[in-house]
């Protein structure tokens, strides 16, 4: 998987690090904002959950709107902690945000993307 290139994208170094971690999450799997910030801290990068969320809020290339060369950052795979229902799947009521929104059509879109990946090819 290609790293995010600062020559192609106008992302801050922190956003690049967040996007690289998020791009490593396999389809059908999720990570929490806290897990991503812990991963970054383990690499010596100062991070907190809120900063990860703000970086992802600015993601211009979610899975269903990739760049022309196919590049995307699957930010729908990042969920808030404590979002698991009884069956272990993320719960819509507390799944976290998506494209800067915490409710409404954006969250419905996030749930559809997660559901589609669960089914797999």
> Which residues are identified as catalytic?
75
CA 1 to chain centre: 16
Structure tokens at 47: 């991070």
Give the angle 1-62-20 at the CA atoms, nearest 5°: 35
Cβ neighbour number for residue 64 with a 10 Å cutoff: 13
The torsion angle over the Cα atoms of residues 12, 13, 19 and 23, rounded to 10 degrees, is: 140
Distance in angstroms (rounded) separating the CA atoms of residues 121 and 115: 12
Helix axes 33-42, 13-23, angle to 10 degrees: 110
């Amino acid at each position: 998987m290609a790293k995010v290139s600062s020559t192609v994208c106008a992302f801050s170094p922190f956003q690049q690090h967040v996007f690289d971690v998020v791009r490593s999450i396999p389809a059908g799997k999720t990570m929490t904002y806290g897990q991503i910030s812990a991963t970054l801290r383990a690499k010596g990068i100062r991070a907190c959950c809120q900063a990860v969320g703000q970086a992802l809020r600015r993601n211009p290339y979610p899975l269903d709107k990739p760049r022309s060369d196919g590049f995307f950052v699957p930010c729908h795979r990042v969920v808030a902690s404590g979002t698991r229902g009884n069956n272990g799947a993320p719960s819509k009521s507390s799944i976290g945000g998506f494209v800067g929104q915490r409710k409404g059509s954006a969250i419905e879109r996030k749930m559809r993307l997660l559901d589609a990946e669960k089914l797999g090819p």
